[in-house]
Amino acid sequence: MDTINRLKNIKETLWINPNYHETKPLEKINGFGYVYTKAAQNRFMRFLPYIASAFPETAEKKGVIESQLIEIDNMKQLFNENGTYIKGNLFLKDDARLPIAGSVKARGGIHEVLKIAESILQHEKMLQPTDNYSIINSDEFREFLGRYTIQVGSTGNLGISIGRTAARMGFKVIVHMSSDARQWKKDLLRSEGATVKEYDGDYSEAVKNGRMESEADPNSFFIDDENSQDLFFGYSTAALRLKVQFNKAGIIVDDEHPMFVYIPCGVGGAPGGITFGLKTLYGKNVHCFFAEPTEAPCFTLGMASGKYNEICVQDIGLSGKTAADGLAVGRASAFACNMMKEVLSGTFTVEDKQLAVYQNNLMESEGIYLEPSACAGFHIFNMQNSDEWKTYINAHELGDKLENSTHIVWGTGGGLVPENLR
């Protein structure tokens, strides 16, 4: 059965990207290279003193927004006991514990808000690149930024990332939420002073309305998850952080020691950005796969059909509804598709009920809580007997190297889920 038919029939699917080009330099693909990641990283660096002072939970790390890389041997053991043998080392990148946002959305969302604030303040001559940015944490700056509004469409976590950061800086904040969004996420945002608007339709509906409302107000900025480059390159800085952690832990990535990364995917911005960053650092030695729910496989659908953002999951009769609320997206980001065309190794889909299994297993074996969306990456290990996986491994001559490989499952969210809802 071809990929589109499998998706249509709600069958779990591993799609290998036929256009994956392992050695082509990123700049040659569409003009974006490492300098974009570096520029975002430099912006975070300029803002360190501000972040450390405005968000006390980051003070200990001096304003660096960081999560742990955790070796999860007990989880690997549990897979093993259940008949799934994992060759190589297994790590969790615990972005659920990223400060401020409690999800992978931290780096992207915060970066875009910082960029907007910086450009306004520099334009008004209130801020120079050489200033100590902690001056922004003052009533004067908050009052000034309060003349502007930041709006965003969100299934929840992007709203939290952007809403909390922007509200703390003094901006007015409007978050346009899809019906899937969890109540506690709306409550949290309202408690921080954001306006939350709710829509009956799906995520695209929320984004569309947000975009329209923002365009009508000259002092409003819309953070556009379906197209944003500033989100994308904010996410990409994760790779620079990971490299530091690899060096510290003595983890080697080279021709003999491949790295595999599995990242849950909604519109594709967060996993796309992370993949882009990793590719600039590790080239053909990193293999990146996105994970999606069977009911909302928008990225797989867009890539496999070649229609990118011009097709949505409802077009093939899927509901787009899933317990993985962070991934409940019907249509992929045009920018992310374009950036991933020749860079992404593949994608896979997973049933909701399986996410709950990984969620429980991770809690049982490692004592780590993730929200359902964030567990999607684990499913790859149950697809390693498929023809698609074997073909990929053979095509890239990885068979003998798997025992030396490092697998990273990206744990993308759940850190702020209230105890009573876990």
Ligand X SMILES: *Cc1c(COP(=O)(O)O)cnc(C)c1O
Q: Which positions lie near ligand X, rule CB under 6 A?
A: 103-105, 157, 264-271, 326-327, 329, 371, 373-374, 412-413
Angle at 361 between CA 356 and CA 364, to 5 degrees: 125
Three-state DSSP at 142 gives: helix
Residue 389's nearest CA partner among 244, 258, 287 is 287
CA–chain centroid gap for 14, Å, is 20
* 14 vs 328 by CB, closer to ligand X: 328
Report CA-CA distances (Å) from 150 to 95, 138, 193, 220, 221: 24, 19, 13, 6, 5
Residue 247 class from Cβ within 10 Å (0-12 exposed, 13-18 middle, 19+ buried)? exposed
* 157 vs 165 by CB, closer to ligand X: 157
* 36 vs 148 by CB, closer to ligand X: 36
Please, are residues 354 and 292 in contact by the beta-carbon 8 Å criterion?
Answer: no
* 145 vs 231 by CB, closer to ligand X: 231
Strands 89-94 and 69-71, by their bridges, are antiparallel
The rounded distance, in Å, linking the Cα atoms of 175 and 101 is 14
Shortest separation between residue 158's beta carbon and ligand X, angstroms: 6
Shortest separation between residue 186's beta carbon and ligand X, angstroms: 15
* 43 vs 105 by CB, closer to ligand X: 105
The rounded distance, in Å, linking the Cα atoms of 351 and 356 is 9
Q: What is the DSSP letter of 266?
A: S
Shortest separation between residue 35's beta carbon and ligand X, angstroms: 22
* 258 vs 411 by CB, closer to ligand X: 411
Residue 345's nearest CA partner among 272, 288, 307, 389 is 288
Secondary structure element (H or E) that encloses residue 71, with its range: strand 69-71
* 326 vs 346 by CB, closer to ligand X: 326
Closest-by-Cβ residue to ligand X is 266
* 142 vs 307 by CB, closer to ligand X: 307
Shortest separation between residue 32's beta carbon and ligand X, angstroms: 17
Shortest separation between residue 264's beta carbon and ligand X, angstroms: 4
Shortest separation between residue 380's beta carbon and ligand X, angstroms: 15
Shortest separation between residue 184's beta carbon and ligand X, angstroms: 14
Shortest separation between residue 291's beta carbon and ligand X, angstroms: 9
The rounded distance, in Å, linking the Cα atoms of 50 and 80 is 46
**Sequence-ordered list of residues with C-beta below 8 angstroms from that of 138, at least 6 positions apart, any chain:** none
